[in-house]
Amino acid sequence: MTCKKNHDNSDNIVRDLPIGQEGIGRHKCASCAYEIGYQHGLQKAENINLGDILNNLGESQKGDRRHRSPHAAYSLGYFNGVVDSY
């Protein structure tokens, strides 16, 4: 399953994240992880299973988001979502 979403906005944020290919997040789409994290941050979601979230992401080798850590992407998205919710 390859991610084919348009991530023009998220890619600009995700490209500054560290490279990371640990565990279940390997090759997963960091921009999807960012956007899901952002939505969870807006909602201040508290029951999160990050393993499930990462496992369900599409894969991406594309451009600026290639190999970016989906863990970092999710957590930055969550943070920005919380900030933007106020």
Please give the residue ranges that form the binding site for Zn ion (CB under 5 A): 3, 5, 29, 31-32
Least CB distance to Zn ion at residue 57 (A): 7
3-state secondary structure of 2: strand
C-beta closer to Zn ion: residue 17 or 29? 29
Least CB distance to Zn ion at residue 80 (A): 17
Give dist(CA 74, CA 34) in Å, integer: 4
C-beta closer to Zn ion: residue 27 or 45? 27
Q: What share of the chain is helix, strand, coil (3-state, %, to 5)?
A: 55, 5, 40
Q: Let me know: does 69 contact 28? Beta carbons within 8 Å.
A: no
C-beta closer to Zn ion: residue 42 or 62? 62
